[in-house]
Structure 1
Amino acid sequence: MTAGLELAVRPQAVIFDMDGLMLDSERALLGCLAQAGAEAGHDLPQAFLLSLIGSSDALTRQRIAGQIGADAVDGLLRASYARYDVLVAAGVPHRPGIVELLELLAAHGVPRAVATSTRRPLALRKLESAGLLGYFEHVATSSDVAHPKPAPDIYLLAARSLGVDPRHCLALEDSPTGVRAALAAGMTVVQVPDLLEPDAGVRALGHAIAGSLHDVRGLLQPLLSA
């Protein structure tokens, strides 16, 4: 699947979302929530779980409280995160094509940063255990900003940390929430959907949509080699 997949100029920096874009962690975390919920007798429909994708920790907690009640949230999250921590320690699987894309950018000296809604300690653990942390000059997380995605704060911080104007940055995202954040920051955006297919409202935002990170690499290769 591709839509509007083209870039006019070589980006001066590339900013990566983490969960669902580089790491197959959305699927893993939602699975942990579903398992913990089932064991505790809570109804967590698949549609509800998918609605959590791209949300900050605070918003995720709020939405789960609305689903199962505020008194049950802490126990459910403890149980699900305990499962998830085991997966993180083992190294969350990569999304296909991420290493090849990062190697291409590194070989051509393109600055790279992460912009993630995950809190800083967990984000660093996930990137380190997955063997990806060393590819990035900076990691911007929800711990570092006042407002999480879809506000542009995390993306603006990532660009600032690299010393690159956001207008000259390419942002790679999987979720609609992240796409809106990067567009609000003034960046060029390519979405690589994971569990959520973009609906008509998301497509109307006018950004490019790629079928895979391999497609993104193919998009960048000629610009970097020119």
Structure 2
Amino acid sequence: MLMRALQFSSHFITKIHQPFYATSSSSSCIPTSPKTFSPRMSSSSSRHSSLAPIAPLEAILFDIDGTLCDSDPIHYYAFREMLQEVGFNGGEPITEEFYAKNISGMHNEELCYVLFPDWDIEKARKFMDDKEAMFRRLAPEKLKPVNGLDQLCKWITDHGIRRAAVTNAPRPNAELMISLLGLGDFFELLVIGAECERAKPFPDPYLKGLEGLGVSSEHTFVFEDSTSGIKAGVAAGMPVVALITRNPENLLSEAGATIIIDDFADKKLWTQLQDIVKKSEPAKATT
């Protein structure tokens, strides 16, 4: 079943090590799309709001896909191959622009209606389940952490900051990615969008994360990479630090990101964290 979609060619294995925006002259490789999936853009023009007002910092909530790891190339490949196999778009492969605009950041139940409005819902759900299974087969070899993640996790642990992962990914995917990244003992809580009343971009998953940790939105911030996730974090009453993993900086800013960073090693992030620590010291001294 879907044999073509399940054939992960050695040519693609080579290509996925290259940037997702790399030029390709073959339909079996990632096509060029500089407008959507371009090299990381400079964040020099991003807003310079401060995270200091949330001090003392109690917790940090993390998205997973595109935030902890750059998983979009794997998701895009799986969607492109499997959609072509079922004749989507007349059998023409979807483009990266289509993926970014219509698929990335959305949860699967919503995608069933977006991609397959004429399909029986159970058939659409089966397609999505098969696609996620394909992702899980590919992820162990290809998934890599975002730069600076280990350093950030150590800082969080050393400072006794609470943490949770909040994602629209299916639970098997989320648990696999956390395990592959070596974060199985790092997160105290994993919140799945589909297990909430409403998934991102609604605030429900982040509100559930706050409730599960027993922390206040006034002393917590969010790491996200998608406009959907940013809107969810903002709606839950928290500032959001956005990573330029795949989405254009202007869209992240328009969605409400407080600051925008290249990755977890970005000096702008560490300046913000140092400011939070400094502002927290007087509060601790009075308790």
CA separation of 1:82 and 1:193: change in aligned 2, threshold 3 A? same
What's 1:29 paired with? 75
**Alignment check: 8 A CA contact 1:15 1:113 kept:** yes
Partner of 1:54: 105
2:164 alignment partner, one of 113, 117, 137: 113
Counterparts of 1:1-226 in structure 2 under 5 Å? 1=43, 2-9=46-53, 10=55, 11-41=57-87, 42-43=91-92, 44-51=94-101, 52-66=103-117, 70=119, 73=124, 77=128, 80-90=131-141, 92-199=143-250, 202-203=253-254, 205=256, 207-215=258-266, 216-224=269-277
Bigger Cα Rg:
2
1:40/1:76 contact within 8 Å kept: no
Q: Which letter maps to 1:92?
A: L
| 1:78 CA drift (Å) | 5.4
Q: Which digits, 9 at most, give the CA deviation of each residue in 1:90-131, with x for residues without a partner?
A: 462112122211111111111111111112233112211221
Give the alignment's TM-score, normalised by structure 1. 0.87
**Residues 177-186 or 80-89, more deviating:** 80-89
Question: Equivalent residue of 1:134, what SS?
Answer: coil
Matched-pair contact (CA < 8 Å) for 2:107–2:194: no
Moved over 4 A (4+): 71-76
Cα pair distance change 1:155/1:79, threshold 3 Å: closer
Shift of the 179–149 alpha-carbon distance from structure 1 to 2, 3 Å rule, reads: same
Report the CA distance between 1:192 and its aligned residue: 1.0
2:96 alignment partner AA:
Q
Deviation at 1:139, TM superposition (A): 0.9
Q: 1:173–1:193: 8 Å Cα contact kept in structure 2?
A: no
Instruction: Give the alignment's TM-score, normalised by structure 2.
Output: 0.70
Distance in 2 (CA, whole Å) between partners of 1:145 and 1:38 is 31
Whose helix proportion is higher, 1 or 2?
1
The alignment covers a number of residue pairs equal to: 224
Q: Shift of residue 203 of structure 1?
A: 2.5
Unmatched runs of 5 consecutive residues or more in structure 1: none
